[in-house]
């Protein structure tokens, strides 16, 4: 077990590559993208991800390039407070900070830490087959490649997964999400906060990612969706001026618009010498901000399992045992939060806001502990 082939150079694939290299493996990566773009989106790296990056020696670089956040606030449309989760206690316990960062910046840092590993771009995997202990990779350009062990880090629509399992199901959350990076200057009080504002059938979230940039996202229900080019200021006209200022100060051409889907939890994450990591194995809705974070956890657990096990199958079983329960918990909980947060029913929304305000600190702390602590 020396050379490992990774399909996909997203956050999951790159983190897996770095972790495997540190465990002494040789790595090769195939990626469909022709050139990495500076996508208009940010990401909040929660404490569980930052603990992994500390182990991998990338923590300081990420902390320096992003913005420290220490409180998650759920708010009403005029920025009234529904609930606030302070992360300082748990940060102190694990001696790491939460960081919000531009995705492209994180990507650059990860690529830099791979140094001599070549990422073979413009290589789209079509399918794979396993024969006599080898994996045959077939690419869209007609070429093929023989590998020993393959990690599928090719995202929610994974062709690796589709090649080893015929019956996986993607679920439509029936929500549409816009994401952007604004150059607005927000009130200093919000600088270390991750804010999500709940309304009736719509949500808006924002967090500072650098001194001069704010990452934001906006969600509506699919049934209310008309076009990705719709004027978001109109949709959020009843929200606080801060929201409108954030949207106004965002270059339109960099705004992303995606439908929200997840992967119905699957029984196995591996077959033979092929294993899945990140969204390919456990894609979740973004309501807990844990999709990439779970990919990072899986990357580390998989690399440790490969190092410690006698063979690939033993390693993959160990990895799945360590990770599956938590990843599935996130998928399930995130799905439920999305339904509640995005409700279109006024009475449900009033009740929801009332109940959320009453949730005791001990309950949110217990949930945070489950999410942020590592079990390996
Ligand atoms: C609106 C939204 C907001 C989100 N916010 C957060 C957040 O705040 N925090 C968080 O932790 N997560 C968040 N997520 C989730 C997060 O984006 C994903 O979980 C994460 O990107 C998964 O990483 P990955 O590497 O597994 O997959 P991907 O990021 O999808 O990467 C897959 C890679 O594989 C490549 N690829 C795909 N197919 C092939 C192929 N056939 N051959 C070769 N290469 C291929 C792709 O080009 C890509 O580079 C959010 C998601 C959405 C949709």
- Amino acid 94: pLDDT: 95
Nearest CA to ligand 1 atom 4: 286
Ligand 1 atom nearest to 295, measured from its CA: 26
pLDDT of residue 354: 87
Residue nearest to atom 27 of ligand 1 (CA): 155
* Cβ contact 96:54 at 8 Å: yes
- CB distance 172 to 261 below 8 Å: yes
Looking at residue 115, what is its pLDDT?
83
Q: Which residue minimizes the CA distance to atom 6 of ligand 1?
A: 289
pLDDT in tens, the chain (376 residues): 579 999 999 999 999 999 999 999 999 999 999 998 877 799 999 999 999 999 999 999 999 999 999 999 999 999 999 999 999 999 999 999 999 999 999 999 999 999 889 899 999 999 999 999 999 999 999 999 999 999 999 999 999 999 999 999 999 999 999 999 999 999 999 999 999 999 999 999 999 999 999 999 999 999 999 899 899 999 999 999 999 999 999 999 889 999 999 999 999 999 999 999 999 999 999 999 999 999 999 999 999 999 999 999 999 999 999 999 999 999 999 999 999 999 999 999 998 898 888 888 888 888 888 899 999 9
Pocket test for ligand 1, best of 43, 104, 128, 173 (most atoms within 8 A of CB): 43
Q: How many angstroms does the Cα of residue 292 sit away from the middle of ligand 1?
A: 7
> What order do you get walking across the sheet with 42-45 strand by strand?
42-45, 98-102, 67-69
Residue whose C-alpha is closest to residue 138's, from 154, 160, 117: 160
User: Which residues have a Cβ under 8 Å from the Cβ of 330 and sit 6 or more positions away?
Assistant: 282, 284, 288, 290, 294, 371
- pTM for this model (two decimals): 0.96
pLDDT at 337: 94
To test the ligand 1 pocket, which listed residue (5, 6, 10) has its Cβ within 8 A of the most ligand atoms? 10
Determine the straight-line distance between the first and last CA of the chain, rounded to whole angstroms.
22
Identify the residues whose C-beta falls under 6 Å from ligand 1: 7-13, 30-33, 43-44, 124-125, 153-155, 159, 177, 179, 217, 258, 278-279, 286, 289-293, 295
Q: How far is the CA of 151 from the centre of ligand 1 (A)?
A: 15
CA–CA distance, 91 with 12 (Å, rounded to integer): 23
DSSP string, 297-319: HHHHHHHHHHHHSSSHHHHHHHH
How far apart, in whole angstroms, are the C-alpha atoms of residue 183 and residue 110?
25
User: What's the CATH number for 3-171+261-372?
Assistant: 3.50.50.60
With the CA atoms of 321, 323, 325 and 329 taken in that order, what torsion angle do they form, in degrees rounded to the nearest 10? -170
The bridge status of strand 149-152 relative to strand 274-276 is parallel
SS3 content of the chain, % helix, strand, coil (to 5): 40, 30, 30
Maximum CA extent, the chain: 63
Q: Which of 14, 19, 29, 32 to mutate to test the pocket of ligand 1 (most atoms within 8 A of CB)?
A: 32
């Amino acid at each position: 077990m020396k050379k490992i082939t990774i399909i996909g150079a997203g956050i999951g694939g790159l983190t897996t590559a770095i972790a495997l290299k540190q465990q002494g493996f040789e790595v090769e990566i195939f990626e469909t993208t022709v050139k990495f773009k500076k996508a208009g989106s940010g990401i909040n790296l929660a404490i569980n991800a930052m603990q992994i990056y500390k182990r991998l020696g990338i923590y300081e670089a990420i902390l320096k390039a992003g913005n420290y956040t220490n409180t998650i606030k759920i708010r009403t449309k005029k920025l009234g407070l529904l609930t606030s989760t302070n992360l300082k206690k748990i940060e102190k316990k694990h001696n790491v900070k939460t960081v919000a960062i531009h995705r492209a910046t994180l990507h650059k840092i990860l690529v830099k830490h791979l140094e001599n590993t070549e990422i073979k771009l413009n290589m789209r995997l079509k399918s794979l087959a396993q024969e006599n202990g080898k994996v045959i990779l077939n690419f869209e350009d007609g070429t093929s490649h023989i590998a020993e062990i393959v990690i599928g880090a090719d995202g929610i629509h994974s062709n690796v997964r589709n090649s080893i399992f015929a019956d996986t199901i993607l679920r439509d959350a029936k929500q549409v999400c816009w994401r952007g990076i604004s150059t607005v200057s927000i009130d200093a009080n919000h600088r270390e906060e991750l804010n999500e504002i709940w309304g009736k059938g719509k949500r808006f979230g924002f967090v500072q990612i650098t001194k001069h940039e704010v990452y934001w996202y906006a969600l509506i229900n699919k049934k209310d969706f008309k076009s990705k080019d719709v004027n978001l200021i109109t949709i959020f006209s009843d929200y606080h001026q801060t929201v409108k200022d954030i949207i106004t100060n965002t270059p339109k051409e960099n705004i992303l618009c995606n439908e929200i889907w997840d992967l119905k939890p699957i029984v196995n994450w591996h077959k033979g010498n092929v294993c899945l990591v990140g969204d390919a194995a456990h894609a979740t809705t973004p309501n807990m901000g844990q999709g990439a974070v779970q990919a990072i956890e899986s990357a580390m657990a998989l690399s440790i399992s490969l190092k410690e096990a006698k063979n690939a199958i033993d390693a993959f079983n160990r990895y799945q045992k360590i990770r599956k329960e938590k990843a599935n918990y996130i998928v399930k909980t995130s799905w439920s939060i999305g339904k509640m947060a995005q409700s279109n029913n006024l009475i449900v929304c009033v009740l929801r806001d009332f109940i959320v305000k009453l949730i005791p600190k001990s309950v949110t702390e217990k949930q945070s502990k489950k999410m942020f602590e590592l079990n390996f």
